[in-house]
Amino acid sequence: MKFATLRNGTFDGELVLVSRDGLHALPVQSIATSLLDAVQRWDTVRAPLEALYMALNAGDASDAIAFDPHVCAAPLPRSPQWLDASAFLNHGRLMEAAFNTPPIPHFDTVPVMYQGASDDFLGPHEDVPLPCEADGIDFEGEFGVVVGPVAMGATPEQAQAAVLLVVQINDWSLRARGPHEMQTGFGFLQAKPSSSFAPIAVTPDELGNAWLDGRVHMSLHVQWNGERFGEPHGREMNYSFGQLIAHAARTRKLTAGSIVGSGTISNQSRTVGSACIAERRVIEKIDHGTIRTSFMRFGDRVSMQARYDDGRDGPFGVIQQRVTQA
């Protein structure tokens, strides 16, 4: 199934099913008032939602409307919890090499993860208001999952079975604010403003063979101000989503609707480019001895879209946003 949330003036928006071809939407208020409501009552609502989804795709849903991603909020405009990892180890190793910092302890065996703000996610076409260009404005393209309830101490296999939906994310970062917050030992706060989401959340079965081993086997095509920036692939994710979820649930349960992110998609091959500016900058430092690329300025635009290996557009839709001064 494919879901989206239309803005309607409420915190959680109006849930709609989206047809497989992305052209039509079907309101489902009689079954679930919002996507958060749906994932929290998944065992009850799944069957009737699947029946409506089949009718929508068959052209038998009389209440279907044209789907417009420009009026969408994030699929989950707010979530009980947002946990973001650094599951592509190539990204972390590049940072260490560029700045000659000590290796992160147990980086190869224990996932790195932080807890971010989950009360104000941005939709796919919303402007991104930020206070200051000097903060080092950066985009970060990644994939994520929405889970059902996860018990404390769940195994990776149990954790992966809890994945209800897959999403595409732009996890905004303010790079100049990060180093101080990391040195405090308390983690990110001001360095991580609200994250943005592509308009459509999908059940894993919608990805077909692109959902494999708890990873999204798709490339994420990123453009900055209309210019190609990179298209790294999700297959090089070192930790599966099952492993990430189990790590998050090691000492606490996860509430249905919690979101776990992969962190910046990063590949060993330099030819595929990057999914964030910070990575391009460290590659420049390693390869040329100097950083050539600046961070974003007000008025800059970023676009992100996942694609299948055969070149087809992915099921999540497109993130197209502009940075503005708050």
Question: Which residues does residue 211 pair with via DSSP β-bridges, in sequence order?
Answer: 216
Residue 275: is its pLDDT beyond 80? yes
Residue 305: is its pLDDT beyond 60? yes
Report, as an integer, the average pLDDT of 185-212: 95
Q: Name residues whose C-beta falls within 8 Å of residue 267's C-beta, 6 or more positions apart in sequence.
A: 88, 90, 232, 233, 236
Report, as an integer, the average pLDDT of 215-227: 98
Residue of 292, 296, 291, 283 lying closest to 323 (CA atoms): 296
Numbered ranges of CATH 3.90.850.10 in the chain: 82-325
Lowest mean pLDDT among 98-102, 107-111, 273-277, 279-283: 98-102
Rounded Cα distance, 127 and 145, in Å: 24
Share of the chain above pLDDT 90, in %: 89
Q: What is the pLDDT of residues 26-85, one digit of tens each?
A: 999 999 999 999 999 999 999 999 999 999 999 999 999 999 999 999 999 999 999 999
Average pLDDT for the chain: 95
Q: Name residues whose C-beta falls within 8 Å of residue 15's C-beta, 6 or more positions apart in sequence.
A: 3, 4, 5, 27, 28, 29, 32, 33, 34, 35, 37, 38
| 82-325: CATH, from 3.30.60.50, 3.40.1410.10, 3.30.1330.60, 3.90.850.10 | 3.90.850.10
Tokens 């609200």 sit at which residue? 194
Phi and psi at residue 216, in whole multiples of 5°? -95, 110
Lowest mean pLDDT among 10-14, 85-89, 94-98, 253-257: 94-98
